[in-house]
Amino acid sequence: MTAVPGSARTAGADPGTLGKRTAPGERGPSRMRHARMSPLAAFRTFWPLVRGNRAAVLASAALLVVSAAADAVAIGVAGHLTDDVLAPGDLAAFWTPATLWLGLAAAGAVASAAGSYLSGWTSEHFLLGLRDHVFQHLQHLPPGTLDRYGTGDLVTRLTGDVEIVETLVASAPVDLITSAAGALVFAVAAFRTSWQLALITLAAAPVIWAGARVFGTLMRTAGRAERDSTGRLASLLEETLTNMPLVQAYGRQRTESAKVHREGRAWMRAGLRQTRLSSWYGPFGELLETLSVLAVIGAGAWQISEHHLSVGGLLSFAAFLSHFHPRLQELGELAVGASTATAACERLTEILRTAPTPDTVTGPGTPPLPEPVRGAVTFQDVDFSYPGTANPVLRHVRLDIAPGLLVAVTGPSGAGKSTLGQLLLRFHEPTRGRILLDGRNIAELPVDELRRHITLLPQDSMLFDDTIRANIVYGRPDAADSDVLAAAVAADAHGFVTALPEGYDTPAGRHGHRLSGGQRRRIALARAMLRTAPVLVLDEPTTGLDDAATARVMAPLRRLTAGRTTFLITHDRRLTALADLVLHVAGGEAVLSMPAPTGDPAPMSDEAA
């Protein structure tokens, strides 16, 4: 008997909640109560993604049914050969049924091959479509929400969970139709041969089906626990491997190994529970099949002795039985596998029901943002609290920043400095109040339209595993080579780039590991300069740089901020001295002041700003 579908180990993580959407900022999925989906509900959720290939699904099932019918007729021909050719030894009667048998075998082989290919084609297209669908949704989730899932967990959802969902939604319909039709074909053939023996065989069917339902319920619970544990292990491994330099530098290898071992043992126990259930389900079906075969042989021997059945008829019935029982078992396994696959369906549904950043579609009467965008930014009595927290991060923030001003945002760690930039980019939505860009409420603008006018230079110089040129043009793919060169020169990056073996076509490596920290920062500055957006958010642009590297980026930073409305989040007083205004954030409040090289800034009224 084949293994129970869904019992194999594949990557993944915890199942998700259904029903209401999870708002950005709510607790991570591993701490949430898991919803329970029935296999039918899970199937209905993802079946629309097969819509474009339904004809291929039906054609595949039809071809596989034709193959089963050809096998059934061929078995009948084999019984005829036994009784009419082999028993009397009539060689002349051999050629016609032999030719028919060969033709049926050829037709069945062609139908089986074509049906299997179409089934595989449908499955692969479903995998591609589902993965694209989930990834496109992920791209619209706020960064904080993605962080709470964890990179390792999200990767396993896009790989292992997607594959498991495919077995339920794309492959299962074909398998169900084929197995059910095949079981029906061979059952009818068995009844035509001997209805008495057929009744004995069918007596085991309800027992097999009831066993499948019981095992399916148990496997569903075990499968959910295994997906939970696999996700936690994947996240732990991803985090540990990413931080391996720190682990090695602090000599914490043994501690991290112990953590991985503990999580690995939990994963092993969850997997063993699935294995234990699967190992019982297989022998259970085989035992029932053996009892059925013995009963058929005994009854068949009696029918032959009473001349109610020929030897060829009994051989044909045995052959029908050898095809009928596997189909019946396949139907049971489909029920068990469907129950197991719901854990993966829940995990993907959790992602798809997590609310993305609210977008706004401008209607015919909605005026577009006036061009050119000047970059005037206004915060009107803005409050912000993270969901589930009692204390607001920001309270009653009122700002009116004229175009082109450089505002240094200072304050203690965790005070909400970066939150201001995230609100401006709509990574979060204000709890209260409005934010305006050139007098327009940014909540009324499409997200893509808003972010087209804002350039973000994050604290981490995020680079892709691509060439230096590709990293520079990332924010403006249509930029000409002359513009790329000008941006690199302005960012003080051209000199070291041209000294590299392949110049601008040199690969930066994963996370830019082939470049130094200062070089990565200057590439990021060049990317920001090339974008030419009127509003700029700089988050700790000199963090991690030594004095020499900081000195190298000071002049490019001045060029980058010239003429742009800039929010410069920094602890570096050298950068604060460049600002037109200083916004000090502490205790949820934001106070504007004039820049001061030393000492605490003197507060300044909103009107003076």
| 3-class SS string, 45-109 | HHHHHHHHHHHHHHHHHHHHHHHHHHHHHHHHHHHHHHHHHHCCCCHHHCHHHHHHHHHHHHHHH
Are 211 and 172 in the same domain?
Answer: yes
Are 262 and 299 in the same domain?
Answer: yes
- State the CATH number of the domain containing residue 121: 1.20.1560.10
Are 82 and 214 in the same domain?
Answer: yes
Does 572 fall in a domain?
A: yes
Are 242 and 299 in the same domain?
Answer: yes
**What does the pLDDT average to over 99-114?**
85
Please state, in angstroms and rounded to a whole number, the distance separating the CA atoms of residues 549 and 120.
Answer: 55
Per the CB < 8 A criterion, the answer to whether 12 and 341 are in contact is no
For residue 155, pLDDT beyond 80: yes
List the domain range (segments joined by +) for residue 155: 29-352
Say which residue, 552 or 22, is predicted with more confidence.
552
Q: What share of the chain has pLDDT > 90, as a percent?
A: 9
> For residue 433, what pLDDT is reported?
93
**What does the pLDDT average to over 480-504?**
89
Final residue belonging to a domain, choices 352, 386, 411: 352
- State the CATH number of the domain containing residue 527: 3.40.50.300
Instruction: Return phi, psi of residue 33, to 5°.
Output: -75, 130
Please state, in angstroms and rounded to a whole number, the distance separating the CA atoms of residues 406 and 557.
Answer: 11
pTM of the model: 0.68
Tens-digit pLDDT profile for residues 127-146: 888 888 888 888 888 877 77
**Residues contacting 206, CB < 8 A, separation 6+:** none
Instruction: Return phi, psi of residue 583, to 5°.
Output: -110, 110
Mean pLDDT of the chain: 76
Does 453 fall in a domain?
A: yes
Strand ranges inside 419-539, DSSP E: 432-437, 440-441, 454-457, 535-539
> For residue 452, what pLDDT is reported?
87
For residue 440, pLDDT beyond 70: yes
Are 389 and 319 in the same domain?
Answer: no
For residue 488, pLDDT beyond 80: yes
CA-based nearest residue to 63, from 29, 18, 94, 109 = 109
Are 295 and 393 in the same domain?
Answer: no
What is the helix (H) or strand (E) element at residue 423, kind and residue range?
helix 417-424
Does 365 fall in a domain?
A: no
State the SS3 of 294-307.
HHHHHHHHHHHHCC
Q: Which of 185-189, 275-279, 421-425, 533-537 has the lowest mean pLDDT?
A: 275-279
What is the helix (H) or strand (E) element at residue 121, kind and residue range?
helix 95-138
> For residue 213, what pLDDT is reported?
64
Does 6 fall in a domain?
A: no
Does residue 595 have a cis peptide bond before it, meaning omega lies within 30 degrees of 0?
A: no
Are 552 and 450 in the same domain?
Answer: yes
> For residue 472, what pLDDT is reported?
92
Please state, in angstroms and rounded to a whole number, the distance separating the CA atoms of residues 490 and 459.
Answer: 20
Instruction: Return phi, psi of residue 440, to 5°.
Output: -105, 135
> For residue 223, what pLDDT is reported?
67
Say which residue, 232 or 606, is predicted with more confidence.
232
What's the pLDDT band for 207 if we cut at 50, 70, 90?
low
Count of domains forming the chain: 2
Per the CB < 8 A criterion, the answer to whether 260 and 236 are in contact is yes
For residue 377, pLDDT beyond 90: yes
One-letter identity of residue 295? A
